Amino acid sequence: MVFFPFHLMIAYVLDLVAGDPPWWPHPIRWTGRLIISLEWLFYDEEGSPSLQRVAGIGFWLAVMAGVLIGAILMMGLSAWVHPVAGQLVMIWLAASCLATRSLHQEASKVMQALAKGDINGARIALSRIVSRDTGKLGEKDIIRAVIETMSENVSDGIVAPLFYLALGGPLWALAYKAVNTMDSMVGYLNNRYRYFGWFPARVDDFANWVPSRLSGFLLAGAARLLGFDWKRAWQVMARDAGKMKSPNAGFPECAAAGALNVQLGGSNTYFGQSVEKPTLGDSLRPLTLERYEAMVRLLYGASFLGFLLAMGIRFLLVRV
């Protein structure tokens, strides 16, 4: 089945309207369960670093095979039942890869608790969307964490899936989401995953190289359209993106920091260990609820620009 631009448009609108209801069947959640099951099968705590790296490659291949075979079967069987059913399943799979609305919804739960003065509730809600330890964070650090995860997920949850949907339809986007989900679950430099998660993390770096830079450009473009500091967004990207260990995360975070005139990065705690990350941007304005609201506008602006770009790419590829 051909993934036409109108399929992409419907999937994008469906994500904006419905998001990811917890009661709705969701392929990315299924991918997470598959990852947990296969990690138990492949991971050997007693294995040498070399054996753990090999096991990590086997684990990655098994997850990708499971995701792609499952998606092909779902699309093929639904199209066999009825052509319209096949198209609906294709749209549903595409929409499941996008996260504009759900990203806003999860961030808003944190900020709503913070606005009510419920600092513990804000910490708990934040712990569901970030990997850092949140139990002792104050208000400014919570807002910083929310803006950081929103800006980074402009790439992971919106622009990258749109990019792969534009290039190859739902199969490419689902493959990307499997890569990204594996990285988020096993791509850590801790004792358990340092070697086992090495290959999944490196593949994720490769898959996000173009989308992360596109995300920075789109955030800067959204800043220009929405009246934020788009010039500083470009300046901070050029100056600070290379400071990050990750070859990709710095671009959207720097663009957001520059556009909002805030400073991101600094000290965080992961799994009980303090990690000092480079600072991104300049603290020209304080980290407040108002800056979060501005980040929400940037999120939707970059999402819409990414959608327009994806539509253009898909239209050209279908015509060819």
Average pLDDT of the segment spanning 100-118: 96
pLDDT interval class at 23 (50, 70, 90)? confident
- Check pLDDT > 80 for residue 206: yes
Helix (H, G, I), strand (E, B) or coil at 281: strand
Q: Which helix (H) or strand (E) holds 121?
A: helix 119-127
153-162 tens-digit pLDDT: 999 999 999 9
**Which residue, among 41, 55, 30, has the nearest Cα to 193 in the 3D structure?**
55
pLDDT of residue 273: 80
Average pLDDT, the chain: 96
pLDDT of residue 164: 98
pLDDT of residue 40: 95
Contact criterion met (CB below 8 Å) for 290 and 142: no
156-201 tens-digit pLDDT: 999 999 999 999 999 999 999 999 999 999 998 888 999 999 999 9
Q: 151-183 burial, b for 16+ CB within 10 Å, e for fewer? A: bbbbbbbbbbbbbbbbebbbbbbbbbbbbbbbb
Compute how many other C-beta atoms are within 10 angstroms of the C-beta atom of residue 274: 9
In this predicted model, which residue has the larger pLDDT, 245 or 226? 226
Contacts with 19 (C-beta within 8 Å, 6 or more apart), sequence order = 101, 102, 105
Domain segments of the chain as ranges: 5-319
Contact criterion met (CB below 8 Å) for 137 and 51: no
Average pLDDT of the segment spanning 18-42: 93
Looking at the chain, the whole-number percentage of residues with pLDDT higher than 90 is 91
- Whether this model's pTM surpasses 0.75: yes
For β-strands 280-281 and 273-276, DSSP reports them as unpaired
